[in-house]
A and B are shown apart, each in its own frame.
Chain A
Amino acid sequence: MASPESAVNGPTMTAGAASKSLRNAFGGVIAFIILVLIGVLAFSIRLFSVIKYESVIHEFDPYFNYRVTQFLSKNGIYDFWNWFDDRTWYPLGRVIGGTVYPGLTLTAGTIWKVVNSLNIPLSVETVCVFTAPIFSAFASWAAYLLTKEVKGPGAGLTAAALLAMVPSYISRSVAGSYDNEAVAIFALVFTFYLYIKTLNTGSLFYATLNALAYFYMVCSWGGYTFIINLIPMHVLLCIVTGRYSSRLYIAYAPLVVLGTLLASLVPVVGFNAVLTSEHFASFLVFIIIHVVALAYYIKGILSPKMFKVAVTLVVSAGLAVCCAVIAILIAVVASSPTKGWSGRSLTLLDPTYASKYIPIIASVSEHQPPTWPSYFMDINVLAFLVPAGIIACFMPLTDSSSFVILYIVTSVYFSGVMVRLMLVLAPAACILSGIALSEAFNVLTRSIKFQLPGIAGNPSIAVRMWCIMSTSKENGSSTVVAPNDIPKTEEAAKEKPAKKNRKKEKENVEKKPTPSKTEKRLLVLPLEASVIAVLLLVLLGAFYVVHCVWAAAEAYSAPSIVLTSHSNDGGLHVFDDFREAYSWLSHNTDVDDKVASWWDYGYQTTAMANRTVLVDNNTWNNTHIATVGTAMSSPEKQAWEIFHSLDVKYVLVVFGGVVGYPSDDINKFLWMVRIGGGVFPHIKEPDYLRDGQYRIDAQATPTMLNCLMYKLSYFRFVETDGKGFDRVRRTEIGKKHFKLTHFEEVFTTHHWMVRIYKLKPQRNRIRGKTKKSKSSRSVSSKRDVRGKRNPWH
């Protein structure tokens, strides 16, 4: 994958031919070894979860992917493609083949098949667990390639090393975290690399590869829209800044044509590749680049005077046509309520959109905006190195470095909107930090080398180096126009920036001796300062490594289905309640029984307990989720009606009040109310809040104390400690002693974290109304209530 080419460094160019090739070979071997080690590092730093816990699939979505992979490995690709899953979203079902990004599953399935055909009997689960670490090694190699294209192999190696252990990426790719992002980040970086490679070489071969890499990305993750918007942005930037070239055309046009064709082959994308607004930018730029290409062509064959006439003619005619087209486009787009954008994309453009209109997106914690500390936690010192990297990219500004700058700017914005997109930022931050570090080391080591007695052979090396920085302003104007007259051969293009700048600088040195002399004096760093700076940078790097290892070992290795806590005397306590509950379900309930729970636990229930669920983490049907939310926030009887109409047998709630597990259903409950109320307006959020405060103690509203979620969570809770003290909310609960009339508790796990209730069957008899007249009347008017409240009738 990452075959390191001969490491070409500035100073080696001036050395003799023999020593140059020898040093190149040596550098190549070193670089290769380093890359292998980086791969090993990337893989092994992600194994903490396996060592500390066990080789299991983590969290929620990975369980679904695991289940799909199992299906794929058992039934083959065609059945997977046509898989209609009747065990989820009951009774709607889900067409898995047409709604899933198949890249990850196909990748792991292929690995499993290859490994098994080699007679290495690995289970599907093992392959799934280790897919993410393997692909993070690939991703760091891709980062090496990309950065090498931008700033040379030194920066590439640094960036690869940084990416191998950046905590943000680790959080999504530890062993067991078998999610789309695990392969998608590799695909993202690799696609960018191939784009840059095509841009630098102008080779159709790489352009085709680029489209294929884009196809893999489309297969893997919905984040592919980032690529198909970022690359057009860059193309537009190049055109606007006058950097249009045939290489740019080759890099872009085939990508749009082939990429769109390939993307529409993925069932989940299909016609979206040409219909949704996310892809419009690429088509618009596609038109623009053709107009520009035509303009350049005409400019080439016409005399300047004729050209001017032609321009006025075309512009006046074109403007009229454009206005008409734009008017039609706007009308078409405006006619759709979301302006043609999907909810998730609108959330990116308007960060307040989700919280206003789509509670289901806003309710997911990874869709929240990140806090400042999370930047430090996730990219650590890179946050400080990125600005330096941006500056380094401006000296000199090339097509590829401008792309990297654009990448970091957009991804910083997106990461600010959603904490989940920090993952897109991480590679960009690593690349820029790699550039910054490598440039800084270049400068510092060279100034040390220059000033050290004995080695100081050719002072011009260092001087020239510094001139690159000092004269960047003058260079700026020359490099902008430069690309047009570059020979089209691959090698020349590759070495273009270095050579050209060097030429320019030599000219500068020769032509303007006096000013550059003074600059030289200023720019050579003193030896001591350089040494200290190098030490500080090494220290910075060491700090980064320590942080990354800590993050990998402590913060991001927990599989979240098994929890641990340390008691005061240092003992380790394991909470394995989730698997306890799921295995209870799989052993004690009928195969076709339906289990209702909040959607977070849907994937796990289908994968681990093999029971049908109403809603799961693929939140494609808001109404269905709202129905479950409504049931959870309704009084017991209405909830029973809703669940009964959906053939639900068991209700599963997660409760952390006994052990202090904060992400339980009571803490998520307001989202259930909001999502339910969004569709069924008789559920009103203020009914559950006392003076705008969410509380479950004696001050809580009666609606809150009587809703199903409260009752199922706190049923018999007072028996644990005698006074019903909730350790998550740190308060005594409001209603302690109550009975359930329509539900019965069938299972509660060891630490009370998962509680399973069964719906009682309908009463065999209907009571008369004498005595207890109130309660019996409400019982006997059951049918009326159903007619009114049940959303399904």
Chain B
Amino acid sequence: MAKLAIFFALTLSFLPFLSHSFSPDTPTDRRILVLLDDFSLKSSHSIFFTSLKSRGFDLEFKLADDPKLALQRYGQYLYDGLVLFAPSVERFGGALDVAAVLDFVDSGHDLIVAADTTASDLIKSVATECGVDFDEEPSAMVIDHQNYAVSDVDGDHTLIAADELINSDVILGKTKIEAPVLFKGIAHSLNAANTLALKVLSASPSAYSAHPTAKLSSPPSLTGSAISLVSVVQARNNARIMISGSLDLFSNRYMKSSVQKAGSPSKYEKSGNEQFVTELSKWLFHERGHLKAGNLRHVKVGETNEPAMYRIKDDLEFYVDIYEWSGNSWEPYVADDVQVQFYMMSPYVLKTLSTDKKGLYHTSFKVPDVYGVFQFKVEYQKLGYTSLSLSKQIPVRPFRHNEYERFITTAFPYYGASFTTMAGFFIFSVVYLYNK
């Protein structure tokens, strides 16, 4: 019995190592499930998959209607990431459906959705649930008569050379993507109020979404910069989602082809697709832009132990550690815009933290002259980074009865008055009682 118990204990303690899953300690994904419409995509998009494999991901390819499809077994997720390269699938096979995909995201896993003109309602509804609205017009495509890619055949201007990228080193890497990104697919839009979704690749002002061959009978519903070509969503639990209106964006053909934007003299040997897709996937699978904060602590100036309660007007020092995941190790995060709030219904103190470049952030301030239950709050939301939201409750009490000033200078006349009255009364009593 005891042996059995030890065995179980050992197994349990090794479980985190056995399962190379996404965990707070190593946020990079490991096991990725790729769902395809058919296996030919495996070769036609091999550059993308190879780059993932070379970075250490375990890819598992399955058909989207595989009847044995399952994301989790015995309550444990089998994968850390899901790539949906199956735009036309009407129903997933096995136990997978929209709700299961969303649960997968809501439990902190990442998702890539790529659609094209054949996008099914299923794929569109997954995108909608993530906050991205594909053009509902069937077989509508993004058309841009200004910024199309010059190609051999004079087409319908649906192959777009897009270069309006999001300005974020975290999402797209430090190296600037020079060449335009080739895109052919459907448009989607984001709700302006949606603070979680970002346009990574947006269309130019001259783009619109319509059927390429049919005549336009009414103005297109999606036009100009409102059209997003590739978007990312970072959910509140820091799960990351990429939604692309084009599956071809990831294809070997687009990655290798040369590109020249209409009306632009510069011709690039190679399109920006490969760099774009690789860098974006690094961000997506948490190789970059993942922050970790912890060890929130505070002490009264001159003391070493964390107090359970402060007094008003105490001086205190506040520390927090913030690290960034570099893909294989935690590195100190260096920034000058991390702030701490001393918060009770509204921030009473708002201080920018200074860092020692080793991950430790620090500041000191005086507790305001207000008592109540305060919180140290670190709310850090920066474009591309995972959001940090830490708080620690700390009550602030008023002065104790013996912490007030004993003698107040301005009150000396009153002290004098009371003592002279007492003395006077004493003398009066003596005189009155014994002077007869």
Contact = CB atoms under 8 A, between A and B. Distances in A.
A84 interface: yes
A84 B235 contact: no
B433 to A, nearest CB: 15
Contacts of A90: 373
Contacts of B393: 592
B373 A765 contact: no
A253 to B, nearest CB: 14
Contacts of A612: 373
A769 interface: yes
Interface stretch (B122-130, B139-147, B316-324): B122-130
Contacts of A768: 127-133, 190-191, 194
Residue among A91, A766, A769, A781 with the highest chain B CB neighbour number at 10 A: A766
Given A82-B400, A765-B236, A770 B136 contact: yes
A767 B373 contact: no
A93 B395 contact: yes
A780 B105 contact: no
Contacts of A766: 131, 191, 193-197
A274 interface: no
Interface in A413-444: none
B397 A792 contact: no
A86 B373 contact: yes
B193 A95 contact: no
Contact of B133 (A82, A645, A769, A792): A769
Contact of B373 (A93, A95, A784): A93
Interface residues of B, number: 40
Nearest to B188: A768
A783 B195 contact: yes
B344 interface: yes
Contacts of A781: 193
Contacts of A86: 309, 373, 395
A770 B371 contact: no
Contact of A765 (B124, B136, B233, B346): B233
A783 B194 CA distance: 10
Nearest to B108: A764
B222 to A, nearest CB: 12
B398 A783 contact: no
Nearest to B129: A767
The secondary structure that dominates the B interface is: mixed
B346 A792 contact: yes
Nearest to A782: B193
B345 interface: yes
A762 B133 CA distance: 21
A169 B12 CA distance: 64
A762 B237 CA distance: 10
B79 interface: no
Interface string B175-201: 000000000000000110111110000
Contacts of A92: 344, 372-373
B345 A91 contact: yes
A93 B128 CA distance: 44
Residue among A86, A90, A646 with the highest chain B CB neighbour number at 10 A: A86
Nearest to A646: B345
A770 B195 CA distance: 17
Contacts of B309: 84, 86
Contact of B106 (A91, A93, A764, A783): A764
A765 B371 contact: no
A305 interface: no
B128 A771 contact: yes
A763 interface: yes
A82 B194 contact: no
A765 B395 contact: no
Contacts of A763: 236
Interface in B389-436: 393, 395, 397-398, 400-401
B4 to A, nearest CB: 30
Contact of A770 (B133, B235, B236): B133
B374 interface: yes
A314 to B, nearest CB: 25
A71 interface: no
Nearest to A83: B397
Residue among A91, A95, A645, A763 with the highest chain B CB neighbour number at 10 A: A91
B64 interface: no
Nearest to B128: A768
Nearest to B391: A647
A767 B131 contact: yes
Contacts of B397: 82, 84, 93, 95
B68 to A, nearest CB: 28
Given A82-B400, A84-B395, A766-B196, 20 more contacts: A84-B397, A84-B398, A91-B344, A93-B371, A93-B395, A93-B397, A95-B398, A592-B393, A764-B235, A764-B239, A765-B106, A765-B131, A765-B233, A766-B195, A767-B129, A767-B131, A768-B131, A768-B132, A770-B124, A784-B193
23 contacts: A91-B344, A92-B372, A92-B373, A95-B371, A95-B398, A764-B239, A765-B131, A766-B191, A767-B128, A768-B127, A768-B131, A768-B191, A769-B133, A770-B124, A770-B128, A770-B136, A771-B128, A780-B193, A780-B194, A781-B193, A784-B193, A792-B345, A792-B346
Top 6 nearest A-B pairs by Cβ distance?
A84-B397, A86-B395, A768-B128, A91-B373, A768-B133, A82-B400
